[in-house]
Structure 1
């Protein structure tokens, strides 16, 4: 394993070892947010199903955004329910561009848990000829992990507004949503003034895996240079509701940058009519 990513072959060896990682299946996508049925049809052996909407998000007001981060104590209780103890390594995966997996990765890392992403997700596992198991999965013994939230930089809504004036703010949604031509999810179309568009889908190679660190670094460094931003400052990232922005945070971290996640993202910003927007 590397510090951030794990290949299918590496994970398979770890699962055969003496100290097995905890594996979490975060099956989620915009058109199918409940991945339980897909998980039960086939998942990596020993993997536990994680509901992004229930386990990795709170349920607040529209002004909080669609996927606000849960309260720290609630998340800690959830993590222990996955059977995670202090010192455990956690591997997360999904079957849709690693967006859901990256959300779990970011939250666990922010809480001080050693989490890695299965590079390429379930498709890469299948392509490697590795086996799956079906069914509802096992209920693990409750863990005793100690969480230390606040390990990673975050942006509030006010921070996101100020970010373009002091560094780089990236809107990682599709270009047509950034430009405000379409908005299928949120009440207003456009983007935060001063943000640059850098779709996180572009960080994924044709094989479904994250592009290499050098290639990613060149891309992000070019954006920093183009904007004339201070390269020592964290790069702010947001998306629609804080999910794919977590994937951008993963790509930036792999590239050697320090990302700051605006978890509320456009779903929060657009629900505040007093907040300006841009559509250019």
Structure 2
């Protein structure tokens, strides 16, 4: 095998240099999810039409709404069974000879989501740092090569589940199961001061707020590792399980990727996130600033 992924993140210069490699499988994981105009305004659609209009040469569209999701679940983007996920990936061209790179045409959250899905079933992959926008900038003006160190944790070494369900989160909220709940949504969505596309405003009680967008620079690249350490320092010094969520388990995946880059283990994503939690009036939610 002549093509080797340099780490969790690859840059546009590396991709350009390896674009013609027969071992490369490039996937566009974009989903369209407009900002809510009012409470409960949930609109999602496939990114396929956008992929038809523009994509990196050779990229295939990976549909997180249908082929790569459990469409029978009560919430969008639900994790499919490993068998269904692997079958869908095989249909996209994945096999033992391929090296997989994922990107999206948005803020990088969709690519991170698919990366975490693959990681949970033992499939190695990398994310294009900065996504399609970074690729376009490279074609226009060029960009320097950035060195991205490999993941310090071997694939499959995580001792806790990659995913948790609502019952597990309820146990954490009740204090019956250890865990730190972290919401990846923006501050205004977390504290309930902005309209939410979900059934209720606010966050799961006891949650801390770590907006995923704070992990990126102005051009959409993940921050350098020393800057990521500053942002994520509070979560790097013990082994308490981290339970990450957002609206649909998408932005949370960017947090999971960044924490993994820094070697943090014991990370799980609540797959249903607020789309499932907020829809059940029996489950508690709260508004306001995170606990001190």
Give the conservation status (yes or no) of the 8 Å contact 1:191–1:279. Answer: yes
Q: Distance in 2 between matches of 1:61 and 1:76?
A: 18
Deviation at 1:43, TM superposition (A): 1.2
Deviation at 1:61, TM superposition (A): 4.8
Q: 1:96 to 1:172 in 2, by over 3 A?
A: same
Residue 250 of structure 1, aligned match among 252, 257, 276: 257
Whether 1:5 aligns to 2:14 is no
Q: Deviations over 1:87-111 (max 9, x none)?
A: 5220000111111111111111111
Residue 166 of structure 2, aligned match among 149, 152, 157: 157
Q: Distance in 2 between matches of 1:237 and 1:209?
A: 21
Which residue in the other structure is 1:146 paired with?
none
TM-score (norm 2): 0.80
Q: Distance in 2 between matches of 1:93 and 1:100?
A: 8
Output aligned runs, 1:105-120, within 5 Å.
Answer: 105-120=115-130
Whether 1:272 aligns to 2:284 is no
Give the conservation status (yes or no) of the 8 Å contact 1:66–1:268. Answer: no
Deviation at 1:29, TM superposition (A): 3.0
TM-score (norm 1): 0.83
Deviation at 1:157, TM superposition (A): 1.3
Q: Deviations over 1:129-169 (max 9, x none)?
A: 17xxxxxxxxxxxxxxxxxxx99522221222344652321
Alignment RMSD (CA, Å)? 2.3
> Which segments of 5 or more consecutive residues in structure 1 lack a partner in the other structure?
131-149
Give the conservation status (yes or no) of the 8 Å contact 1:269–1:275. Answer: yes
Q: Distance in 2 between matches of 1:215 and 1:205?
A: 10
Give the conservation status (yes or no) of the 8 Å contact 1:173–1:199. Answer: yes
Deviation at 1:197, TM superposition (A): 0.9
Give the conservation status (yes or no) of the 8 Å contact 2:69–2:79. Answer: yes
Output aligned runs, 1:133-144, within 5 Å.
Answer: none
Matched residue SS, 2:282: coil
Deviation at 1:186, TM superposition (A): 1.4
Give the conservation status (yes or no) of the 8 Å contact 1:109–1:152. Answer: no
Q: Distance in 2 between matches of 1:187 and 1:118?
A: 33
Matched residue SS, 1:24: strand
Give the conservation status (yes or no) of the 8 Å contact 1:161–1:192. Answer: no
Residue 33 of structure 1, aligned match among 20, 27, 45: 45
Deviation at 1:206, TM superposition (A): 1.1
Which residue in the other structure is 1:21 paired with?
24
Which residue in the other structure is 1:263 paired with?
271
> Which segments of 5 or more consecutive residues in structure 2 lack a partner in the other structure?
35-43, 141-158
Give the conservation status (yes or no) of the 8 Å contact 1:234–1:257. Answer: no
Deviation at 1:276, TM superposition (A): 1.0
